[in-house]
Amino acid sequence: MTSQSQGIQQLLQAEKRAKDKLEEAKKRKGKRLKQAKEEATAEIDHYRLQREKEFRNKETNVMGSQGNLSAKIEEQTTEAIRNLTSSYHRNVESMMKKLLSTIFDISPEIHPNFRPA
């Protein structure tokens, strides 16, 4: 009987050791999953930062050229306004004379389609 109870004790101890090893393996697996998740998060953050940096560089290049373009357009607009203003001041008097002479120099004539009754 003692050998039987001793065998049962050995089986219980073996089962306990197996259960402990299983729990230890589960803990290691949990730790490894957590570590893998942290590594993946770090890698994703690194990739995101890299892509954001590339985006900012491209954005700076595009916006910089647009800034130069808007300054160039502003300069051209200012020059065109200056030219139109100077042209207006040069020609305003001669145009007024032509306009007034056209209005006031009337020579009455009978229309060619007029038929006296």
pLDDT digits (tens, 9 = 90+) for 34-49: 999 999 999 999 999 9
Q: Tell me the residue type at 33.
A: L
Q: Is the pLDDT score of 20 beyond 90?
A: yes
Length of the chain: 117
What is the DSSP-derived secondary structure letter of residue 103? H
**pLDDT above 70 as % of the chain:** 96
Q: What's the pLDDT tens digit per position in 78-103?
A: 999 999 999 999 999 999 999 999 88
> What average pLDDT is seen over the chain?
90
Q: With bands split at pLDDT 50, 70 and 90, how would you rate the model's confidence at 71?
A: confident
Q: Is the pLDDT score of 61 beyond 90?
A: no
Q: Is the pLDDT score of 67 beyond 70?
A: no
More confident residue, 87 or 68: 87
Distance CA 5, CA 13 (A): 12
Angle at 11 between CA 5 and CA 12, to 5 degrees: 90
Residue 43, CB half-sphere, CA atoms under 13 Å: how many? 6
